[in-house]
């Protein structure tokens, strides 16, 4: 497993942008597929995006395609989520997570999680 710490959340107006960062401890991050999820109170965690070991392949939830971009920097043990054209419904706590299975969108398939970072989009 790997320890993950998210940062970069905050308050932004609708239409604005934020870049979330996820710092991974240790040298094992490059072994995992990395993903982002989000969660609002009373709801299950929702898949946002994931990226392959090398960073050459990505996949997204339909509602994020074209607005969000996931990337990774294995040399510096970082994963990023660039979020553009933000909407009030994007308000949530965003989590970074790691899995061994490329293509999965199920939170139960991810074995390591950060503590989350709050994103609030005002209308």
Task: Report phi then psi at 111, rounded to 5.
Answer: -105, -15
The proportion of the chain whose per-residue pLDDT surpasses 70, expressed as a percent, equals: 98
Report whether pLDDT(81) > 90.
yes
How far is the C-alpha of 27 from the C-alpha of 106, rounded, in Å? 25
Cβ atoms of 48 and 42 closer than 8 Å: no
Q: Rounded CA gap, 29 and 63, in Å? A: 27
Q: Is the pLDDT reported for residue 22 higher than 80?
A: yes
> In whole angstroms, what is the distance from residue 12 CA to residue 27 CA?
33
pLDDT tens per residue across span 54-73: 999 999 999 999 999 999 99
What is the arithmetic mean of pLDDT over 79-106? 96
């Amino acid at each position: 497993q790997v320890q993950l710490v998210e940062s970069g959340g905050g308050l932004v107006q609708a239409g604005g942008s934020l870049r979330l960062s996820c710092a991974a401890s240790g040298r094992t991050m490059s072994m995992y597929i990395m993903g982002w999820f989000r969660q609002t109170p009373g709801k299950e965690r929702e898949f946002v995006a994931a990226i392959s070991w090398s960073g050459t392949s990505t996949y997204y939830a339909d509602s994020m395609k074209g607005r969000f971009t996931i990337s990774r920097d294995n040399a510096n043990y970082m994963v990023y989520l660039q979020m553009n054209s933000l909407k009030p419904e994007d308000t949530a706590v965003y989590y970074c997570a790691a899995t061994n299975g490329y293509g999965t969108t199920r939170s139960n398939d991810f074995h390591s999680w950060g503590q989350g970072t709050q994103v609030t989009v005002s209308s």
